[in-house]
Chain A
């Protein structure tokens, strides 16, 4: 059909002319059906669009040989203009019925009767409706077909994409280096990949035959199954744990396991997805590294690190739990090492370690090597008071059998410090220090034994330690001072000299006697500078007294020499130097040496004493009678004075004096005098004692009866008193 295009806004459209009437019809038509169209045309555009259709209807109405068929095309054109709503048809028919003849009836070349017009108009309506319906039906069918085809196409695209996705996922699943498994929420395994099967030992059946919740292992972390239950209940989206499994051969597979919950499109829990990474090798390596970090390479025993971990665990507060610690140090191991060599020493340690290992096999017990020849045995539990004694006993017993080494039998002994107590009270460092101190006590008591820690001994040791470290600074700060105790001539009671006694004015502990710090100074070597200071100070003091007391004869000064000073190579030179710088006569100085320091002394040791004696310095043998007094040795020694130990005078404090004591003292005095030695007695506390000792022939005395040790000016006062 051709609908003649009619330019809009026709200029010749006179309102009452045929064109104007046709346009009026189109306007009415447009107004009637526009509300039911879906066109995006504006109303004027739509009206323009309808005008050719109106003209076609008018032409059909007036055709010479009436044929309504072309009205079919008008109906189809309406559908093409998106007037697909049924209302558009009924409205159009209404407009044609009412207005076509009215507005277009007189427009044509043929004059029509009214009946003819009505009849033609009705036929036109029939044809228009038929055309509309047919076009709409075709359009509907073709659109339905198009959309169905599109839906099919879309679905097949989606399926292809899904297929590709699945293929990709399959590849991921199949070739993944980690084990992947999918199970339903009851734990039935639905899918597993080859990697997972291999990890479990290679038998797919072995994996599939168990439900997920049957893979229980004794070393499962306590949370694993709690997490699992939460996940399958939909309360947890995923969890990651380290989990062991049994392989089909019974060996253990360790994994890093990550389980995720898969939900369906409605969000309901549907599957569980497990990813398993085989960590067995890594774990073994870690265990080995951990073992190496916590064990002694030589003996294989746990080392210091592991021991401290365990000790700290044992000391953590736990109701009713106690600990017992044996701290073992081999006696004389250094000698073995030095004489047989380190390799032998190492073999010995290995043997000792083996024996110790067998002592600490009970639950809660452990044996460790701290280093060198130091070992520890730890026991924990509720009854360690008894256990630890047994343990210490077992250790000593284990060491009692001689050890064969390179064909010789070595007897190894050890000293053990035992510490026992409740958990939660002390730190590991405190316990170990106490054990160490106690071990040294056992060693000091002769070794091959154990000693029990006690708080007082610890405190003393701790103080000793504190004093030892404070000594050097104390000398620099001038915390030492000297007290003097007079030496009195028993014959006339005159003051004959004084013994210099060093004291330490400690900032915390107050005034400390030499017994508290001289052994420490000996041990650290500080005795040398300290002794030199004492000598300088005493000599200076003695010189001062001599200058002030010229009429009372020479006043002597006694200064103690410790064993370490005795061995010091510059003893003679320093003494000479001190005397020369002060100007004191050598004969006014008496150096006191203990008897024990000279036991077994050879000529090398005696040489400096001889030199000093030759210079005129007196040498006194202090504490005589306490050691193993080698009387035969006396004549070899460059000694001019014997100082009798106070133990001899103690027996004379009471009246009547012990006759045996009297005899002994008398004998010693007689012996001394026969060797041309003067005798000084210490510890004189009563007049009766003094008288007795005088009668026995003692030359000089000192003790509280005369004066306690005191400041230098008190000696001066005594001298002045003598002089009166």
Chain B
């Protein structure tokens, strides 16, 4: 029997959470021993995982900056996780105090934590919803109260789509979101891939196995597969590229990047 929509998920902090693992990779302490244990295991196969997370954060920062400079000041960040530092609202509101940010996550601990962090910020909300049910996100009253979907929105799907299995049809979910956004909207996306990891697929596969064991399978997709998420959107220069190559701050900065930061693709698309 399928769980009814109104029956909430239980909270079990004895199970590792990808949000808290992410926080651990970034040196945070918003995590529990189970999270750290799983993260350490994953790092046995990919010691550079923290660098991958850092590259994601760095891309997000550059892409949000790009969005604000191109006039988009509404942000919908799905899979926002545990807010640590350099969050979307910090970056965006530093550039434009009027910027509005709606965070979405399905991890109730991450949601509760975000609520605490965002308290007092009138232009940022967190909603508990699931990327796999885009209608729930689009119909969420808090999000709709904050964002005007008739105006361009920057949709952030940073390091989240690789946690959606094909069985849950991520393409349909993203398509539904893309279609709901106004012209001029942006899609900011990163996604893990075997292409670019400075390891053999066999070794990197160890990390994938860890995520599978904690029931949060990590779905590696090829560049071609990832590019399909942008269907109908125009790619912003330089297109879908390894994370560090997306509009690097300087050629020198690019030259000094850690090889692990190439473990995935990043891109920004615009709705015509």
Interfacial residues, chain A to chain B (CB-CB below 8 A): 35, 37-40, 42-45, 82-85, 139-140, 143-144, 146-147, 149-151, 153-155, 157-158, 161-162, 165, 168, 260, 262-263
| Min distance, Cβ B115 to any Cβ of chain A, angstroms | 8
List B residues 61-109 near A (Cβ within 8 Å): 61, 82, 84-86, 108-109
Chain B residues 235-251 with CB under 8 Å of chain A are 249-250
Distance between B7 CB and nearest chain A CB, rounded to angstroms: 5
**In the assembled complex, which residues on chain B have CB atoms less than 8 Å from the CB atom of A260?**
1
B10-31 CB mask vs A (1 if < 8 Å, else 0) is 1101000000100001111111
B8, B54, B84, B111: the one within 8 Å of A161 (CB): B8
Per the bound structure, the CA–CA distance linking A83 and B54 in Å amounts to 13
Q: How far is the CB of B245 from chain A (nearest CB, A)?
A: 14
Cβ contact within 8 Å between B253 and A158: no
Give chain B residues whose Cβ lies under 8 Å from the Cβ of A139.
29
Q: Is the CB of A151 within 8 A of B116?
A: no
The contact sample of 17 A-B pairs, CB cut-off 8 A, is: A37-B27, A39-B54, A42-B58, A44-B250, A44-B252, A82-B85, A143-B28, A144-B30, A150-B109, A150-B110, A150-B112, A153-B115, A154-B109, A155-B108, A161-B8, A162-B7, A165-B8
B26 near A147 with CB under 8 A, answer no
9 shortest interchain CB distances as A-B pairs: A150-B113, A143-B29, A154-B108, A161-B8, A84-B27, A153-B112, A40-B86, A150-B112, A154-B112
List 11 other contacts, CB 8 Å, given A82-B84, A154-B112.
Answer: A40-B57, A42-B58, A42-B250, A43-B253, A45-B249, A139-B29, A144-B30, A146-B30, A149-B112, A153-B115, A157-B112
Q: Enumerate chain A residues within 8 angstroms of B1, measured Cβ to Cβ.
A: 260, 262-263
Knowing A45-B249, A147-B30, the reply to whether A158 touches B11 (Cβ < 8 A) is yes
Alpha-carbon separation in the docked complex, A153 to B111 (Å): 10
**Contact indicator A150/B50 (Cβ below 8 Å):** no
Known A-B contacts A82-B85, A262-B1; A44 and B253 likewise in contact (beta carbons under 8 Å)? yes
Separation of A465 and B75 alpha carbons in the complex (Å): 92
B116 interface neighbour in A146, A157, A162, A165, Cβ under 8 Å:
A146
Closest partner residue, chain A, to B29 (CB atom): A143
Residues of B within 8 A of A149 (CB): 112, 116
Chain A residues whose C-beta falls within 8 Å of the C-beta of B115 in the assembled complex: 153
Does B163 belong to the interface (CB within 8 Å)? no
CA distance A143 to B84 in the complex (A): 10
| Beta-carbon contact of B252 and A43 below 8 Å | yes
Q: In the assembly, what is the distance between CA of A149 and CA of B116, in Å?
A: 9
B104-141 interface with A by 8 A CB criterion:
108-113, 115-116
- In the complex, what residues of A have CB within 8 A of residue B231's CB? none
Q: Which of B11, B57, B60, B61 has the most A CB atoms < 10 Å from its CB? A: B11
A40–B112 contact, CB under 8 A?
no
Q: How far is the CA of A589 from the CA of B122 in the complex (A)?
A: 127
In the complex, chain B residues whose CB is within 8 Å of the CB of A161: 8
On whether the beta carbons of A147 and B27 are closer than 8 Å, the reply is: no
Q: Are A38 and B54 in contact (CB under 8 A)?
A: yes
Q: How far is the CA of A146 from the CA of B119 in the complex (A)?
A: 13
Residues of A within 8 A of B200 (CB): none
Determine if B171 is an interface residue (Cβ-Cβ < 8 Å): no
Residue numbers in B under 8 Å from A158 (CB-CB): 8-11, 108
Contact B8 A162 (CB under 8 A): yes
With A42-B250, A82-B85, A158-B108: A165-B28 Cβ-Cβ less than 8 Å: no
With A146-B113, A158-B108, A165-B8 as contacts: A40 and B85 at CB distance below 8 Å: yes
Contacts of A84 in B (CB 8 A): 27-29
Q: Considering only CB atoms, which chain B residue lies closest to A147 in the complex? A: B30
Cα–Cα, bound, A149→B82 (Å):
13
A161 to B5, CA, bound (A): 12
Name the A residues within 8 Å of B58 (CB-CB): 40, 42
Whether B234 sits at the interface, judged by CB under 8 Å, is no
* Alpha-carbon distance A84/B30, docked complex (angstroms): 13
Q: Tell me if B13 and A151 are in contact (CB < 8 A).
A: yes
Contact status of A40 and B54, CB under 8 A, knowing A147-B30, A147-B113: yes
Interface residue B224 (Cβ < 8 Å from any Cβ of A):
no
A169 to chain B, nearest CB (A): 9
Residues on B with beta carbons closer than 8 Å to the beta carbon of A168: 6
Question: Bound complex: CA of A157 vs CA of B111, how far in Å?
Answer: 11
**Complexed CA–CA distance, A38 and B50 (Å):** 7
A40→B26 CA distance, assembly (Å): 10
Chain B residues in 8 Å Cβ range of A150: 30, 109-110, 112-113, 116
A45 to B65, CA, bound (A): 15
Q: Which of A43, A146, A154 contacts B11 (CB 8 A)?
A: A154
Minimum distance in angstroms from B184 CB to a CB of chain A: 26
Given A40-B58, A153-B112, A154-B108: A147 and B32 within 8 A (CB)?
yes
| Contact A144 B253, CB 8 Å, known A155-B11, A165-B7 | no
Q: Within 8 Å of chain A (Cβ to Cβ): is B168?
A: no
> A40-B58, A42-B253, A44-B253 in contact; A147/B20 too (CB < 8 A)?
yes
Residue among A37, A150, A158, A262 with the highest chain B CB neighbour number at 10 A? A150
- Contact indicator A140/B29 (Cβ below 8 Å): yes
B45 CB to nearest chain A CB (Å):
19
Within 8 Å by CB of A38, from B7, B8, B13, B27, lies B27
Complex: chain A residue closest to B8, CB-CB:
A161
- Looking at the assembled complex, report how far the CB atom of A148 sits from the nearest CB atom of chain B, in whole angstroms: 8
Measured in the bound complex, the distance between the Cα atoms of B112 and A151 in whole Å is 7
Tell me, in angstroms, the Cα distance from A139 to B53 when the chains sit together.
20
B148-187 interface code vs A (CB 8 A; 1 in, 0 out): 0000000000000000000000000000000000000000
Measured between C-beta atoms, what is the minimum distance from A648 to chain B in Å? 99
Q: Which of A42, A43, A44, A144: most chain B Cβ within 10 A? A: A42
Out of A44, A140, A154, A263, name the residue touching B111 (CB < 8 Å): A154
Rounded to whole angstroms, the CA-CA distance of A26 and B256 in the bound complex is 17
Q: Which residue of B lies closest to A160 (CB)?
A: B8
Is B258 on the interface with A (CB-CB < 8 A)?
yes
Closest Cβ–Cβ distance, residue A75 to chain B (whole Å):
15
Q: Smallest distance from the beta carbon of B228 to chain A beta carbons, Å?
A: 28
B82 touches A82 (CB 8 A): no
Question: Are the C-beta atoms of A143 and B116 separated by less than 8 Å?
Answer: no
The distance from the CB of A10 to the nearest CB of chain B, in whole angstroms, is: 18
Contact B250 A165 (CB under 8 A): no
Q: Report the separation of the CA atoms of residues A165 and B32 in the bound assembly, to the nearest whole angstrom.
A: 29
Tell me which residues across on chain B come within 8 A of A151, comparing CB atoms: 11, 13, 32, 109, 112
Contacts of A162 in B (CB 8 A): 7-8, 10
Q: Which residues of B contact A157 (CB under 8 A)?
A: 8, 108, 112
CA distance A83 to B27 in the complex (A): 8
B110 → A minimal CB distance (Å): 8
Q: Which of A43, A143, A151, A158 has the most C-beta atoms of chain B within 10 angstroms of its own C-beta?
A: A151
Is A85 within 8 A of B27, CB to CB? yes
Please determine whether B61 and A40 come into contact, CB atoms closer than 8 angstroms: yes
Query: Which of A35, A37, A40, A153 has the most C-beta atoms of chain B within 10 angstroms of its own C-beta?
Result: A40
Contacts of A146 in B (CB 8 A): 30, 113, 116
CA of A168 to CA of B4, assembled, Å? 12
CA distance A45 to B91 in the complex (A): 14
Contact B258–A35 (Cβ < 8 Å): yes
Q: How far is the CA of A240 from the CA of B58 in the complex (A)?
A: 58
Enumerate chain A residues within 8 angstroms of B113, measured Cβ to Cβ: 146-147, 150
* Minimal beta-carbon separation of A474 from chain B (angstroms): 75
CB-CB nearest in chain B for A42? B249
Residues of A with C-beta under 8 A to B26:
38, 82
Cα distance, A263 to B3, chains bound together (Å)? 11
Alpha-carbon gap, A155 to B113, bound state (A)? 12
Bound-state CA distance A225–B155 (Å) is 55
In the complex, what residue of chain A is closest to B107 when comparing beta carbons?
A154
Which residues on the A side are within 8 Å of B31 (C-beta)? 147
Could you tell me the distance between the alpha carbons of A149 and B9 in the complex, rounded to whole angstroms? 18
B233 to chain A, nearest CB (A): 25
Query: Per a CB cutoff under 8 Å, which of B29, B60, B61, B108 touches A147?
Result: B29
Residues from chain A with Cβ under 8 Å of B8 in the complex: 157-158, 161-162, 165
Question: Can you name the residue of chain A whose Cβ is closest to the Cβ of B256?
Answer: A43
Q: Within the assembled complex, what's the spacing in Å between the Cα atoms of A392 and B261?
A: 102
